């Protein structure tokens, strides 16, 4: 299956939502990396979150993986404090984890989740902690509009607590 992706930047949540499926070739991955960098740059290096839904994504060829690793590395050095990953393929999950740690092994901000609901509850918990500790500036770019992604509410008490730690910049 040919690869597809979508990137949605929800500024008021300070969250970039990524969806990747299928098999990526070099051209498609370069397009993804450019769009992901644009979304990341909208935060001007300030803290933000990422939800990466990679269910259905095939493992990447090595040269395509290098482009992916560079995109993730750039985002991590430009403000990502937590990346919630969803994957249904063990090989792809291990590859993504390895590529994400490639440049900054001590600064792995990835957490794997089994369901989108678990990931959203965890990210909302981090957002609440973040809101209490600081008032983030609005992203500079007006190209990424906020779009509501929730159709209902989630009970935070139904899931175990998720503690977010602010990692030192390396």
Burial class of residue 132 in the structure, from the number of CB atoms within 10 Å of its CB (0-12 exposed, 13-18 middle, 19+ buried)? exposed
The answer to whether residue 83 is domain-embedded is: yes
The answer to whether residue 32 is domain-embedded is: yes
The answer to whether residue 93 is domain-embedded is: yes
Does 156 have pLDDT greater than 60?
no
Give pLDDT, residue 142.
42
The candidate with the shortest Cα–Cα distance to 84, out of 111, 121, 53, is 111
DSSP 109: -
Could you tell me the two tokens for 137? 């500036």
Give pLDDT, residue 144.
39
The answer to whether residue 11 is domain-embedded is: yes
State the CATH number of the domain containing residue 143.
3.30.750.24
Choice between 153 and 72, residue whose per-residue pLDDT is larger: 72
Token pair 């500790």 is found at 133
Give pLDDT, residue 31.
98
**pLDDT of 68-109, one tens digit each?**
999 999 999 999 999 999 999 877 777 877 777 776 655 578
The answer to whether residue 168 is domain-embedded is: no
Task: Please report, for residues 29, 100, 120, 134, 154, the alpha-carbon distance to residue 103 in angstroms, rounded to integers and kept in the order given.
Answer: 18, 7, 27, 28, 35
Question: How many structural domains does the chain have?
Answer: 1
CA distance 159 to 60: 33
Could you tell me the two tokens for 168? 């030192």
Does 34 have pLDDT greater than 60?
yes
Instruction: Indicate the range of 95-99, 116-120, 166-170 predicted with least confidence.
Output: 166-170
Instruction: Indicate the range of 16-20, 22-26, 34-38, 87-91 predicted with least confidence.
Output: 87-91
The answer to whether residue 144 is domain-embedded is: yes
Task: Please report, for residues 132, 135, 136, 138, 140, the alpha-carbon distance to residue 85 in angstroms, rounded to integers and kept in the order given.
Answer: 25, 26, 24, 25, 26
The answer to whether residue 137 is domain-embedded is: yes
The answer to whether residue 13 is domain-embedded is: yes
Q: Which domain holds residue 29?
A: 4-158
Does 161 have pLDDT greater than 90?
no
């Amino acid at each position: 299956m040919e690869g597809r992706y979508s990137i949605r930047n929800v500024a008021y949540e300070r969250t970039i939502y990524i969806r990747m499926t299928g098999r990526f070739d070099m051209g498609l991955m370069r397009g993804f990396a450019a769009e992901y960098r644009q979304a990341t740059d909208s935060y001007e290096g300030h803290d933000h979150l990422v939800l990466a839904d990679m269910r259905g994504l095939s493992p990447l060829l090595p040269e395509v993986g290098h482009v992916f690793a560079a995109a993730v590395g750039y985002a991590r050095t430009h403000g990502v404090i937590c990346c919630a990953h969803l994957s249904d393929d063990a090989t792809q999950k291990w590859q993504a984890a390895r590529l994400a740690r490639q440049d900054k092994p001590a600064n792995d901000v990835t957490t794997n989740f089994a369901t989108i609901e678990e990931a959203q509850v965890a990210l909302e918990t981090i957002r609440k902690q973040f809101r209490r500790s600081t008032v983030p500036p609005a992203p500079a770019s007006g190209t990424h509009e906020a779009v509501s992604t929730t159709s209902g509410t989630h009970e935070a008490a139904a899931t175990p607590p998720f503690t977010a730690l602010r990692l030192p910049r390396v």
